[in-house]
């Protein structure tokens, strides 16, 4: 049996830790505390960048500029994430840039939602942020107290569910490209709300795998720079969780 199973988070692959475990060029070893500190640093950077596009949308009165930051953030975020995943040694330098890119995109997306639901759900963004943070804290508590144990069976279920969601996203994108209605996901029906609720649950469960991966990485003495890599992986999951919670709340507001 492997030291730990593959995480459904692409950044938290077992192969990554096996590869860096052989790296003797790095001084110091990865710790859980170090990963936690760096996670908070990346979250702060994301919020700071998001505040910029949020301010631009509401106070600079320049919607086109917000759109530019949205697409620029999304594209650069994807590119940076791919580089980090394939070259973990770059994580201390590129993770902050990734956090900033995601922040610019999230700020724009959040502004769009806040404007669209100003009447039906005022404060939808603040609610989504709060629910995301509370969910992360609850999952951390469940992991640390072993209220939920990350067994091989649970890990397999979460991975299968996450891969299925990725396939679902792909199908929805293809249907949209061909002009086929995707109201079953983008609408406000009970089915659509149910799908979003399931995705939120799976995203939250992925945090357990991330926590477990970081803990095992520190136990096997991964290089110090992997603290940044672990923080990057957690941020990826948190961003996903936030966006899905925001989507779910918007559907409930329209119902």
Which pLDDT tens digit goes with each residue over 190-231? Answer: 999 999 999 999 999 999 999 998 999 888 888 999 999 999
**Domains in the chain, number:** 1
Q: Which two tokens stand for residue 200?
A: 């939120």
Residue 21 is assigned to a structural domain of this protein: no
3-state secondary structure of 241: helix
Residue 145 is assigned to a structural domain of this protein: yes
Residue 9 is assigned to a structural domain of this protein: no
Residue 51 is assigned to a structural domain of this protein: yes
Residue 11 is assigned to a structural domain of this protein: no
3-state secondary structure of 29: strand
Residue 13 is assigned to a structural domain of this protein: no
Under a CB-based contact definition with an 8 Å cutoff, are residues 57 and 246 in contact? no
196-198-202 Cα angle (round to 5) = 115
Q: What percent of the chain has pLDDT over 70?
A: 87
**Domain ranges, residue 155:** 29-254
Q: What is the pTM of this model?
A: 0.88
24-40-2 Cα angle (round to 5) = 45
Nearest CA to 49 among 154, 136, 41, 204?
Answer: 41
**In sequence order, which residues have a C-beta less than 8 Å from that of residue 46 and are 6 or more positions away?**
99, 100, 102, 103, 106, 235, 239
Q: What percent of the chain has pLDDT over 90?
A: 71
Q: What are the tens digits of pLDDT across the range 109-141?
A: 999 999 889 888 999 999 999 999 999 999 999
Give the CA distances from residue 193 to residues 106, 183, 244, in Å, rounded to whole numbers and listed in that order: 22, 11, 11
Residue 18 is assigned to a structural domain of this protein: no
Residue 5 CA neighbour count, 13 Å, CB half: 16
* pLDDT, position 65: 74
* pLDDT, position 77: 95
Residue 167 is assigned to a structural domain of this protein: yes
3-state secondary structure of 223: strand
């Amino acid at each position: 049996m492997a030291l730990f199973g593959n995480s459904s988070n692409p950044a938290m692959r077992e192969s990554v830790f096996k590869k860096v475990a052989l790296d003797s060029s790095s001084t110091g070893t990865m710790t859980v505390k170090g990963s936690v500190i760096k996670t908070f640093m990346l979250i702060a950077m994301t919020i700071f960048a998001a505040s910029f596009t949020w301010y631009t949308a509401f106070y600079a009165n320049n919607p086109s500029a917000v759109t530019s930051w949205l697409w620029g953030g999304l594209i650069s975020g994807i590119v940076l994430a791919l580089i980090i995943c394939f070259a973990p040694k770059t994580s201390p330098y590129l993770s902050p840039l990734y956090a900033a890119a995601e922040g610019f995109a999230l700020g724009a997306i959040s502004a769009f939602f806040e404007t669209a639901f100003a009447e039906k759900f005022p404060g939808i963004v603040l609610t989504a942020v709060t629910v995301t943070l509370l969910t992360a804290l609850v999952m951390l508590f469940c992991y640390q107290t072993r209220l939920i144990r990350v067994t091989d069976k649970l890990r397999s279920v979460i991975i299968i569910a996450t891969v299925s969601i990725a396939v679902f996203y792909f199908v929805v994108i293809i249907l949209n490209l061909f002009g086929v209605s995707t109201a079953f996901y983008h609408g406000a029906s009970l089915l659509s709300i149910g799908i979003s609720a399931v995705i939120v649950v799976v995203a939250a469960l992925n945090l357990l795998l991330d926590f477990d991966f970081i803990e095992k990485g520190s136990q096997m003495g991964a290089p110090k720079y992997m603290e940044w890599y672990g923080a990057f992986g957690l941020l990826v999951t948190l961003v996903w969780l936030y966006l899905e919670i925001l989507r779910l709340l918007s559907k409930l507001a329209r119902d």
